[in-house]
Amino acid sequence: MEKRISVELSTRIRHLPPYLFASIDKMKQKAIARGTDLIDLSIGDPDIPTPPHIVNAMKVAVEKPANHRYPSYEGMPSYREAVALWYRKRFGVKLDPQTEVLSLIGSKEGIGHIPLAFVDPGDIVLVPSPGYPVYSAGTLFAGGENHVMPLNEKNDFLPDLDAIPKKVLRKAKLIFLNYPNNPTSAIAPVKFYKEVVGIALKYNIIVCHDASYSEIYYDKRPLCFMQIPGAKDMGIEFHSLSKTYNMTGWRIGFAVGNREVLAGLGKIKTNLDSGVFQAIQEAAIVALDTGDEILSAIRKTYQERRDVFYSGLKKLGIHLMKPRATFYIWAKIPSNFDSTGFVTHLLKRAGVLATPGNGFGEAGEGFVRFALTASVERIKEAVERIGKIL
């Protein structure tokens, strides 16, 4: 009889919930295997191709022998300079490319790693619920404790900072924020950001703002946290080229802001990864210089889809807010379902795949998230299918 070792997972892995989008992908593959004509509105993966000029820049860069060697850990100086220039043009924020910009293998990687640099066992991290699952997962990997900040519709999906107990604030090391928000599509006003700055300075909390969706907006350009006076004194901001330039598979992003915080994150990265492939960085430089006419066309596509889906769901009697940013629809579900049950019902009866709100945290129960990552025609068909089973 063949002998095998006994494989036992670590405590942190055993306590970690299944990653939401990995579970969604399994549901998707099973539906496809059954022959379902699936309309996939679950994962925020743009269906629009990367703009051709970026792809062409990559073709040129990948053939350069110099790019086939290890890249720098912090990112090529030219890439970090391009990020700083983009921030100055887009937000009016000045950054030192050498100390206030750090390249990332996509923003997810930086978000997941930053607790390792600052959180010890027993420390608290303030995380939004509903929210991107990586905020809480990164805390668990570092041995920290998550304190949930509920995002409720009555408060415009902003956390009630006054409701956080002072004893929690005194033990908090990080606070994660994300506006424009995934999954609710909410945006944050100046007043809220100023409150965050005041609390962070008072209790010595590092602010980690995820601004991955800053360029997917409709009626009004959203603010970034770095535009707020004093933001660099206690915080950093994560960005990704994934959503803005339809580059999800390229895995490149950046963090900017407080140089000491970035140095701590950089120390984790030097021990765990070897930087971003230089050819991708060269293509990203071209991406960051993309004219607004291309980005406006991308936003127009999402806005057409938003308007069709929003009006369609409203006519079906579904309660939802009209998104002002991101490419997500955050909708209330019928009262006779829970979030997971409704998503399963949609998949089996309508062939429409969405994401259950409770997958983003307990405060997401009672909601479902749809991604606007299908054509207008398919979205119209999804609304028609949903209408038939409600």
Q: Where in the chain is the domain with CATH 3.90.1150.10?
A: 11-49+293-389
Fold observed for domain 11-49+293-389: Aspartate Aminotransferase, domain 1 (3.90.1150)
Instruction: List the chain pLDDT tens, one digit each, 390 residues.
Output: 678 899 999 988 888 877 777 778 888 888 888 888 999 999 899 999 999 999 999 999 999 999 999 999 999 999 999 999 999 999 999 999 999 999 999 999 999 999 999 999 999 999 999 999 999 999 999 999 999 999 999 999 999 999 999 999 999 999 999 999 999 999 999 999 999 999 999 999 999 999 999 999 998 999 999 999 999 999 999 999 999 999 999 999 999 999 999 999 999 999 999 999 999 999 999 999 999 999 999 999 999 999 999 999 999 999 999 999 999 999 999 999 999 999 999 999 999 999 999 999 999 999 999 999 999 999 999 999 999 998
User: CA 135, 141, 147, 152 torsion: positive or negative?
Assistant: positive
Name 289's Cβ contacts closer than 8 Å, sequence gap at least 6. Answer: 82, 86
Alpha helices in 144-189 (DSSP H): 166-171
Thinking of the domain 52-288, which architecture would CATH place it in?
Answer: 3-Layer(aba) Sandwich (3.40)
**Residue 1 pLDDT:** 61
Q: Where in the chain is the domain with CATH 3.40.640.10?
A: 52-288
> Which segments of 203-354 are extended strands (E)?
206-210, 235-240, 253-257, 328-332, 352-353
**Residue 30 pLDDT:** 86
Whole-angstrom Cα distance, residue 310 to residue 316?
A: 10
Q: Widest CA span of the chain, in angstroms?
A: 69
Phi, psi of 130 (to 5 degrees): -70, 150
Full DSSP string of 303-347: HHHHHHHHHHHHHTT--BPPPSBSSEEEEEPPTTS-HHHHHHHHH
| Cis-peptide, bond into residue 180, ω within 30° of zero | yes
pTM score of the predicted model: 0.95
Name 216's Cβ contacts closer than 8 Å, sequence gap at least 6. Answer: 180, 243, 244, 298, 299, 302, 325, 326, 327
